[in-house]
């Protein structure tokens, strides 16, 4: 038993030794703590060397960089100062344009995009639209259509005239009256559209000229013969150069049987002419009155009856026409009351100082018959008796007015 146990003891020892050897990891057992410390110190030393080397390099480079920058700044600053000093030196005294001793010449350079005034105006004229509303232009007929005709007016596009604007009334022989190539004067009634075309009218131009003619005739107090072509409840209608005229019943000599005057010619005067409202009013009574004015002259001595007394003067009957003796033309003296000079129904003598054919009014004057201011108030009878002789003295005044009117 003892020997067996010893045998097993030897085997156990061997196994123990082998087990301890097996527990040691390969290659690790050869590394000691001392070696690890040496390696770590070596790494740290290397790192410190690198850092110290970098710091030394930086310390060497930093002053160089700073010195270079400051040098550049100094160079730039000196350049700026030099340029400023140079510019100050080169600056001259500003020109004095008010110095009469010096002569100044200003040169004007012309480039490719510059042009003179004539070229500028020519460019404006080329782009200016032709045919403003109300403008009268001449053109040539270039084409006829069923609804109107085209006229060359010198623009980018021709002017168009509708058939109803070609004349007054209904036009039956359209092609015969407006052949191609004929020149005519027209009035622009509508400006250019998007295509550059304007609308023109011959009818509107005829009516405009008619209104101008009628206005001048009314201003001059002319009398005209008209053909009565219709009537209504208020009076008669007629045609005056293409314009529709109206004669009220109150302006007729015989307003009772006025319908019988249709298709007859009567003499009338212009009572109202208004192109804007297209109102043309005529009067037969005024025509008779104006015909009487034809025998009257400035400076003529007339005799008439006082019809009415107004705050501003007297109305005097001159045999179908009425004259106004204004209060400023009665006497050169001071008047307290008009009735202390003349009364209604009294026959007086006065000088004609104004003839207004358009309004049908005659202006009278009695102050020119006085030899002294206020004589008409003191001795009215004497002034009226000697009126013919005293009127001769004033003739020269009205002769000058007549000559001035003839010169105008």
Which pLDDT does position 329 carry in this prediction?
92
Q: Which of 289, 288, 245, 284 shows the shortest CA–CA distance to 268?
A: 284
Of the chain, the percentage scoring pLDDT greater than 90 comes to 33
Alpha helices per DSSP H over 91-168: 117-127
Sequence-ordered strand ranges (E) for 146-294: 148-152, 159-162, 183-190, 199-201, 223-231, 235-240, 243-248, 265-274, 279-283
Domain ranges in the chain with CATH number 2.40.50.140: 131-206, 221-289, 295-403
Class of domain 131-206: mainly beta
Which pLDDT does position 406 carry in this prediction?
53
Alpha helices per DSSP H over 201-349: 202-219, 284-293
> In angstroms, rounded to a whole number, what is the distance separating the alpha carbons of residues 145 and 125?
31
Mean pLDDT in the chain? 76
pLDDT band at 363 (very low <50, low <70, confident <90, very high): very high
Which pLDDT does position 368 carry in this prediction?
92
Which pLDDT does position 168 carry in this prediction?
84
Higher pLDDT: 272 or 121? It is 272
CATH of 295-403, one of 3.40.50.880, 3.20.20.100, 2.40.50.140, 1.10.3470.10: 2.40.50.140
Higher pLDDT: 341 or 360? It is 341
Is the pLDDT at 346 greater than 80? The verdict is yes
Tens of pLDDT, residue by residue over 116-165, are 667 656 655 555 556 678 888 899 999 998 889 999 988 777 889 999 99
pLDDT band at 274 (very low <50, low <70, confident <90, very high): very high
Tens of pLDDT, residue by residue over 186-217, are 989 887 777 778 899 999 999 999 999 999 99
Q: If one looks up domain 221-289 in CATH, what number appears?
A: 2.40.50.140
Is the pLDDT at 52 greater than 70? The verdict is no
DSSP 8-class letter at 172: S
State the pTM of this model.
Answer: 0.51
Tens of pLDDT, residue by residue over 56-115, are 554 444 444 444 454 555 555 555 545 555 444 454 555 555 555 555 555 555 555 555
Which pLDDT does position 1 carry in this prediction?
41
- For residues 176-195, give the mean pLDDT: 86
Which pLDDT does position 41 carry in this prediction?
54
> In angstroms, rounded to a whole number, what is the distance separating the alpha carbons of residues 202 and 138?
11
């Amino acid at each position: 038993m003892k020997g067996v146990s010893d045998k097993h003891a030897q085997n156990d020892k061997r196994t123990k030794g082998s087990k301890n050897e097996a527990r040691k990891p390969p290659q690790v057992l050869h590394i000691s703590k001392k070696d690890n410390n040496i390696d770590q110190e070596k790494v740290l030393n290397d790192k410190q060397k690198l850092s110290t080397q970098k710091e030394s390099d930086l310390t060497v480079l930093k002053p160089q960089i700073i010195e270079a920058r400051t040098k550049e700044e100094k160079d730039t600053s000196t350049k700026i100062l030099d340029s400023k000093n140079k510019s100050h030196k080169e600056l001259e005294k500003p020109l004095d344009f008010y110095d009469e001793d010096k002569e100044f010449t200003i040169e004007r350079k012309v480039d490719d995009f510059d042009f003179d005034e004539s070229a500028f105006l020519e460019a404006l004229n080329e782009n200016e639209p032709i045919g403003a509303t109300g403008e009268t232009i001449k053109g040539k007929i270039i084409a006829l259509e069923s609804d109107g005709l085209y006229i060359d007016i010198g623009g980018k596009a021709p002017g168009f005239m509708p058939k109803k604007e070609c004349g007054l009334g209904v036009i039956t022989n359209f092609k015969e009256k407006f052949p191609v190539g004929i020149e005519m004067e027209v009035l622009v009634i509508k400006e250019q559209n998007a295509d550059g075309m304007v609308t023109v009218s011959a009818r509107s131009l005829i009516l405009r000229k008619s209104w101008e003619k009628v206005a001048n005739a009314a201003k001059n107090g002319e009398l005209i013969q008209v053909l009565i072509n219709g009537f209504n409840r208020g009076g008669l209608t007629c045609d005056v150069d293409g314009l529709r005229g109206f004669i009220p019943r109150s302006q007729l000599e015989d307003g009772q049987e006025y319908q019988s005057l249709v298709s007859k010619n009567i003499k009338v005067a212009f009572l109202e002419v208004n192109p804007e409202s297209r109102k043309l009013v005529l009067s037969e009574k005024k025509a008779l009155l104006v015909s009487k004015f034809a025998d009257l002259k400035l400076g003529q001595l007339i005799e008439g009856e006082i019809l009415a007394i107004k705050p501003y003067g007297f109305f005097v009957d001159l045999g179908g026409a009425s004259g106004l003796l204004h209060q400023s033309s009665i006497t050169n003296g001071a008047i307290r009351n008009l009735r202390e000079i003349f009364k209604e129904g009294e026959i007086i003598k006065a000088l004609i100082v104004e003839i207004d054919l358009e309004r049908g009014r005659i202006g009278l004057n009695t102050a020119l018959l006085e030899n002294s201011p206020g004589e008409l108030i003191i001795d009215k009878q004497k002034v009226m008796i000697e009126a013919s002789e005293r009127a001769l003295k004033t003739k020269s005044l009205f002769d000058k007015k007549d000559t001035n009117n003839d010169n105008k």
